[in-house]
Amino acid sequence: MGSSYNFDLSKKTHIFHLKVWVLVSIFVGIFVVVVMLLLWRCSKSKKKSSVGLIPNVSREIKEIRIEQKKSAGMEEVEYFNVQEEKEKDCDKLLVHFKNEDSFNSSSNDPNAVSVSSPLAGLPELSHLGWGHWFTLRDLEMATNRFSKENVIGEGGYGIVYSGQLINGTIVAVKRLLNNLGQAEKEFRVEVEAIGHVRHKNLVRLLGYCIEGTHRLLVYEYVNNGNLEQWLHGAMAHHGHLTWEGRMKILLGTAKGLAYLHDAIEPKVVHRDIKASNILIDEDFNAKISDFGLAKLLGAGKTHIVTRVMGTFGYVAPEYASSGFLNEKSDVYSFGVLLLESITGRDPVDDSRPVHEKNLVDWLKMMVAAKQADQVVDPNLETRPSTSALKRALLTALRCVDPNAQQRPTMSQVVRMLESDEYPILREGRTRKKDKR
């Protein structure tokens, strides 16, 4: 039996006249090589897909570019996702964010700040040029595993939790909900819009977390509610805002918007200025928040045409009707916010009579009827002086002018609110001398 077996293996075949044992050896070798290649590819694939401290962000955050078209005399801007390179590494994104931080250093705005103390004492490994790269574990520990007791706000795209970092800093952690990719869009927009920005009237983005499908943003914690809560009752147990307090908050909001529109490049159009997005700190300074709908307007761009987003009652008419968006859309929203602060009324209130439902229309009717003194919020214990009320109303009316070209810039609005004189209601109209 053994000699027969040896004879069979030694027998020549028709394949290049090779012996049987040679062919068997070749096939076994090829099989081993193939198996090793498959094992190597599997291990490489697992390594790429595994979530570590620094995941492959470039596959998860898509680059957005702009293609311009001319249509019916208007410039249409079409946003589309560009296919990313499959093997890009996370370091490129980190360098991009670091470079963005440097552009704010050229700003001459006196309100710009560059304090980084909230991140002091955190691991150097995670520091970026403008903020901090947090792991999901970091934020789970900070928020007690995102417990319900830590929830301080909820919106259409996410939940906001209070938390405490390992260095003791209290923060607000916004956990974005991945609704049809909306979390990805909002995450990228907020990081690009305010990641590199420092201003005392803008809520500061301290850092972020990307792990798998998780998208989280970490902000400074602003501990005194928001303007909506102060105007409409949720903070009533703390009392009502005085006229001076309201004007301080509105002036701070105007300065923050002026910075976004005029002091940085590309300019940022917030697109969702409303009372609930104006946070208030313990010194009653305004902090503009929630940049999830923001748009960037680069040099030479006077406007873009985009899908209408925002909050009913605050949206500028030309934007609502055509999607025509620029910084004057924020000016309109600010005008509504100013009227809301003066009157204590919601921008749209269906519980009121028909002619009073829309705040802007009602206010214009009251001014035309020379009843402006009757629009002041009845919750104010001390009414503003006639001159202060007139100045605020005229500024607001200029901001909500239906003709966007007639609206002032936010820098002009700041000067109007700070001035002792009355703003001109429309450009080119001669102001009558003040009668005092």
Measured CA to CA, the distance from residue 218 to residue 208 in angstroms comes to 6
CB atoms closer than 10 angstroms to residue 155: 15
- DSSP state for residue 239 in the 8-state scheme: -
H or E stretch covering 296: strand 295-297
| 205-211 and 132-133 strand pairing | parallel
Write a three-state SS string for 78-144. EEEEECCCCCCCHHHHHHHHHHHHHHHHHCCCCCCCCCCHHHCCCCHHHECCCCEECCHHHHHHHCC
Place of tokens 């090779």: 18
Closest C-alpha to 292, from 147, 153, 142 = 153
Residue at 65: amino acid letter:
R
- DSSP state for residue 404 in the 8-state scheme: G
CB atoms closer than 10 angstroms to residue 127: 15
The tokens describing 166, both together, are: 């390992």
Measured CA to CA, the distance from residue 347 to residue 216 in angstroms comes to 31
Question: What residues have CB less than 8 Å from 283, skipping those under 6 apart?
Answer: none
- Rg of the chain, C-alpha, whole Å: 30
Question: What residues have CB less than 8 Å from 338, skipping those under 6 apart?
Answer: 250, 392, 395, 396, 399
User: Can the peptide bond before residue 384 be classed as cis, meaning omega within 30 degrees of 0?
Assistant: no
CB atoms closer than 10 angstroms to residue 34: 10
The tokens describing 374, both together, are: 């009757």
Active site residues: 272
**What are 432-435's contacts with CB under 8 Å, separation 24+?**
434/387
Measured CA to CA, the distance from residue 113 to residue 128 in angstroms comes to 17
